[in-house]
Structure 1
């Protein structure tokens, strides 16, 4: 329910019901308007804050935020220049897809790391999940496949978006000097916050 209300508030902001910097009604008033419990509106406002639609601290009035910056990705192997949060480091067995990307057998245990990349305003801009076998090794090159994929529940929650929304999915595989894969990663980028621009060398 709170995700549906959040989507409706996004629509109302686009339609001009509230403008940038303008305060929204209190949670109590909005709960009355949408005929839901005040806790539902708390979840709604929290979601809209995480996604950068609203500004304001918990328990205080919230205002319409400036739209999230649209960034351009030209190199999927550059380090993230702002803050990050590591959210998961549990080892994982290699799926068929990961095994093919790393040139190993399915089921082999892999090291894993999921990192949430935050923009200067503290909003989640990208999620990077990496997998590798043994110790992390240096790489000399990388290859990237670009596609789209629906957001999982965890990804949508972190990005402040709806489950199932399409996002860019960049499958990056790092290679050693001999061209063998040493690490692979999925970079998940919200389509409303990113442009992908490929450059020739």
Structure 2
């Protein structure tokens, strides 16, 4: 079989998955085991596993044994002005960052302004993280009468990949929404990262 050593190993592991010898949920052998079984170096194994992550065939968090991915359940987001979907098991992290750069512009505040920040890891019923939502506002939550939302392709960062089980650089959607009060002032900025293999947008 032609190709670099990691490509040949990736092709072999891909075949194990596609034939069902490694079914969904199967914990793949450790890097050390794969090295020993196939007589290759650690770098070859790492590149092969990264390739299969990019293809969506395996997933798992960093420092954990990867497993064969289940076919993703695909959800549809139909309105960018509803509260972003979050399962009851979503994990919340609150902080008070300082506004800077693009965030200060979006909220119409001076750089260095203290903001309330709520980060939510959206988890579905099977325990899979299906999205990452971060909301910033100044002061308490206020009502809004209008919004603006921009959608763009996004490559998952290392931190986002670790939370979602994707490979760093995997394709995701980035939705950036700003809500406005009746007087036109921004009252909330929100970023939503949705793995492209788990969501469809109809907005």
User: Is this a same-fold pair by TM over 0.5?
Assistant: yes
Match of 2:122 among 104, 117, 121: 117
Match of 1:98 among 85, 95, 103: 103
Alpha-carbon contact 2:155-2:168 (below 8 Å) kept: yes
Counterparts in 2 of 1:13 and 1:171: CA distance versus 1, 3 Å:
farther
Show CA shifts across 1:66-107 (max 9, x none): 312111111132342523101x32221112211111111122
Show CA shifts across 1:122-171 (max 9, x none): 10000001111122222233221111222222111101112223321100
Correspondence for 1:16? 18
Distance 2:91 2:57 in 1: 17
Alpha-carbon contact 1:20-1:63 (below 8 Å) kept: no
Q: What are the equivalent positions in structure 2 for 1:142-157 lying under 5 Å apart?
A: 142-157=147-162
Counterparts in 2 of 1:23 and 1:141: CA distance versus 1, 3 Å:
same
Per-residue deviation, 1:31: 5.3
Match of 1:70 among 70, 74, 80: 74
- Please state whether the residue corresponding to 1:135 is helix, strand or coil: coil
Per-residue deviation, 1:17: 4.3
Q: What TM-score do the two structures reach when normalised by structure 2?
A: 0.71
Counterparts in 2 of 1:64 and 1:74: CA distance versus 1, 3 Å:
same
RMSD: 3.7
Ranges in structure 2 where 5+ consecutive residues have no aligned partner: 1-5
Q: What TM-score do the two structures reach when normalised by structure 1?
A: 0.71
Ranges in structure 1 where 5+ consecutive residues have no aligned partner: none
Counterparts in 2 of 1:96 and 1:130: CA distance versus 1, 3 Å:
same
Q: What are the equivalent positions in structure 2 for 1:44-193 lying under 5 Å apart?
A: 53=58, 64-76=68-80, 77-82=82-87, 83-86=89-92, 88-193=93-198
Alpha-carbon contact 1:52-1:68 (below 8 Å) kept: no
- Please state whether the residue corresponding to 1:158 is helix, strand or coil: helix
Number of residue equivalences: 180
Counterparts in 2 of 1:29 and 1:164: CA distance versus 1, 3 Å:
closer
Distance 2:19 2:67 in 1: 12
Show CA shifts across 1:16-68 (max 9, x none): 1436458456547445336578xx99xx8xxx8xx89579xxx99x9745312
- Please state whether the residue corresponding to 2:161 is helix, strand or coil: helix
- Please state whether the residue corresponding to 1:189 is helix, strand or coil: strand
Counterparts in 2 of 1:153 and 1:160: CA distance versus 1, 3 Å:
same
